[in-house]
Structures are given as structure tokens and as C-alpha cells.
Amino acid sequence: MKTFFKFFGAAFGIAFLVCSIYVVNLFSSKPFSLDHYLAKELMVSLFDSPEYLTYIGAFDFLNPIIKHNSKLSNDSLEDAEESHIDTLKHLQILNSYSDDELTENQIITKKIAIFDTENDINGFENFRFHSYPINQISGAHLNAIEFMTDIHPIRNKREANDYLKRVSQIGASMDNLLLWFDEQAKIGIYPPTFVFDHVINQLSEMLSNPSNPLQEVFGKKVRELDLSDSEVNSLEVELSNIIEESFNPAYQRLLDRMIADKSNSNLNHGVWSLPNGDEFYKLRIRTYTTTDYSPQEIHDIGLSEVKRISERIAEIFKELGYDKEKSVGILLNELNENPDFLYADTPDRKEIVIRDYTEMVAEAAKKVEPYFERMPKASVEVRPVPEYSEQTAAGGYYQGPSLDGKRPGVFYANLYDIKQTPTYSMMALTLHEAIPGHHMQMH
């Protein structure tokens, strides 16, 4: 028996030593394996972003320890500088892995990682302030609300208190944007006039509306918890105070700045009008297409595709008996206004459209399932675009689920304008945004 324990102790010691060497190697600046290095970098980037940790949901069991659900990222200018230094080191380490020591798949992975990293470095060093973090579609002022109302979980009192802590930090994030605007102004960069117009309207409506979506969603969720009336009331009062004392003043400062800067707005919409705009445009092409096509080549491809698609649409219109003397553009406009393809403008219109979209998602899932080895673990729901952003949002967009599938994927349909939902276009949008589109693409 003593011999057994000696053997077991020795085996345990060796195993512990091997594991220790592995862990130390994994978290060293350069692990032995490229795969291990990239896995380490992924984990580091995850834990640098409390919002993303919340989004994927897989690490919520760590929240009592690291408290990520009560934090927002540090999006200061100084933090961006530090991240850039880390990115430069990251590129050096990637290049230090010799292709001779890598498998074919690892070489491909390395090339992709270097491609993305070089683009990030180029963008930061040459075009750091060329983007518009405040815009009418995906601006930071909208994203903050969407994250809190749609992503942040409220399943217990701890997470309700985390919600309060996060909302109290939104003001600082908005104030950081004012510093961003200062840097942009130094090099003569201002968003286009239409961006100012839309954002000013959005912020004005938010601040003048006595009903705040942060308050509405929070109130609904905490009332579903196993809490006493006094606890619920206390939480709601605290959130109301945070909104009044921190959130609204920050959004008012943002609105004041947008109004003050509007006279400097860019009358041109293209990025060509920005400092070194042509080179910035080339970088965006390279980043989004992974090609070295020139802007002119991309433009020519676009014109060619418009011509091809327009000719095909014209053929279909002709087959259906439409006036062949009219242009495709005119016929499409007439089609979009044809009452035969529009929902009646009744009080329950939105509910009916969401129901029909939901049925289309179910139909699509049933038809595509035989063609896939596995379907996504998470379900996908159809919801209307929130009222605070529906006037300027796209016709539809998708928000992914948590990794564990507990939070569903969401296909948001914009129902603001009845003409945005012609019945003939709904299935195509469903296939793109939900199944077999983004919901299966990502998951």
C-alpha cells in the first residue's frame, strides 16, 4: 500500500509539474504553439471587454468574482494608446512563428491574423479619428441603451444591481466621446450634415420623452423576480435617480455639443473629403473585401452588378405583365406602394407583421434542416426595432445569442413605416437575417 501511495504521489507530482509548465507556457509572451498563443490572445481580449463577456454569457459563473456584469469598458483615449502598443507587440510575436514549424492550416491562420493586425495598426496610426462613433444607425448613444435593454441579464437581484452600476457608468463613456470630438476637430474632421440632423433629433426626443427605455425594460424585468414590492421599488427609484443625475445630463452634454458643432458639419458625404480620405477608403476596401482591388475597380464591379440585376428584374416585370416602357426604379417604387403588398395600417399591424415573420423563420428552419449536420443551439426570435432608433435604423438587422444558447438570437424588423414591409420582400429578409442567414452563419 505504501508503494502505491509513493507511486501515486510521484505520478501526481509529475502531472502537476507538466500542467504547470503548460500553463506557464500558455500565458508566457510567446507560447510554443501558435494555436496556444492565439487562444491566449482570445482569452485576454475577452477579459478586457466586460461587455463582450456579458454578450457571450459563457463566463457568467465568474461574475461573483470578477464582477464583469457591473462594468463597462474603459474607452478613453489613453486606453486606446495602450491597446495599440499591445497590437504592435502582437504583430511581432505573430511574425516570430516560422512557417517551417507550422502546419498548412496554421500558416493560413497566421496569415489571417497578420492581415487583420496590420490593418488595425494602419487604421490606428493613420486614420484613428476618421470614423464617426456617433451616428444615427449604430452610434454609441444607441448602442449603450441597446446593450443594457437587450443583452445585460437580470435574473436575480445581484444582476439588477449590476444593471444600476453599469447605467451609472454610461455618462463617463459619453463624455469620452466629447474628447474624441476634440481630437477630430484638431484635424478638421466632422460628420456629414445629415448625421448631425438625425442624431440631434434622436437625442432631443430621448431627453424630452418622459419614458426612458432603460427604465421601462428594467422595471419589467425586476418585477418578474422573486423580490418584495419594497425591494422592487427601491431598485426602480435608484435607477430613476441615476438617469436623472448622470445619464440624462451626459446625453444633454452630447446634444449640446452636436448642436454647437453642426455649423462645421461636412457638406460632403464621402470619406474622400476627409484628410487623406482616398487612402482611408483604400484601407476600408482592403479590410472589408480582403482584396487589393482599387476603388475604381470596386466601383466598376458595383455598376456591372447593378446593370446585371436591373436587367434581370426588368425581365421578371415583363413576364408579370408590367409596363415595359417604365424603368425598373419606377416600377419598384410603384410595387412598394401597391396596397396589395402592404399591411393595413391598423393598431395591431406590428403584432401581425411580427407573427408573420416568426412563421417564416419556422418555415425556413424546417426546410433547411435536412441540409445541415446540426442546427444552432439557440433559438431565434423576431422583434420590432426599438422605437428610440426605428426612424433611422435599417430595415432589419440581427443580434447574436449567448454561447450557451440561453439568450436567443434576435432578428429585428423595422416596422416604423408601413411601406418598409412589403409582403413580397419579407421572406428574403427573413432568410438573410435569420435562417439560414446570420443566425446559422454565426452559430
Q: Give me the CATH number covering residue 356.
A: 3.30.2010
Q: Which residues contact residue 252 at a Cβ distance below 8 angstroms, ignoring those fewer than 6 apart?
A: 207
Q: What's the pLDDT score for residue 420?
A: 85
Domain identity same for 330 and 351: no
Domain identity same for 316 and 388: no
Q: What is the pLDDT of residues 142-163, one digit of tens each?
A: 999 999 999 999 999 999 999 9
Domain identity same for 223 and 279: yes
Q: Are strands 409-413 and 380-384 parallel, antiparallel or unpaired?
A: parallel
Domain identity same for 368 and 405: yes
Range of the domain at 315: 299-336
Q: What is the pLDDT of residues 388-433, one digit of tens each?
A: 999 989 999 999 999 888 899 999 999 998 888 899 999 999 999 9
This prediction has a pTM of 0.88
**Interior CA angle at 125 toward 124 and 129, to 5°?**
55
Res. 332: pLDDT tops 90: yes
Q: What is the mean pLDDT of the chain?
A: 92
Q: What's the pLDDT score for residue 31?
A: 85
Domain identity same for 204 and 331: no
Task: Please check whether residue 396 lies inside any domain of the structure.
Answer: yes
Task: Please check whether residue 51 lies inside any domain of the structure.
Answer: no
47: left (phi over 0), alpha (psi -120 to 50) or beta: alpha
Instruction: Reply yes or no: is the peptide bond before residue 436 cis, omega within 30 of 0.
Output: yes
Domain identity same for 186 and 271: yes
Only one residue has cell 425594460, namely 217
Domain identity same for 153 and 233: yes
Tell me if 273 sits within 8 A of 266, measured CB to CB: yes
Domain identity same for 355 and 379: yes
Q: What's the pLDDT score for residue 264?
A: 97
Domain identity same for 174 and 283: yes
Domain count within the chain = 4
103 DSSP 8-state letter: -
Domain identity same for 349 and 256: no
How many other CB atoms sit within 10 Å of the CB of residue 222?
Answer: 22
Only one residue has cell 437581484, namely 157
φ, ψ (nearest 5 deg) of residue 364:
-65, -45
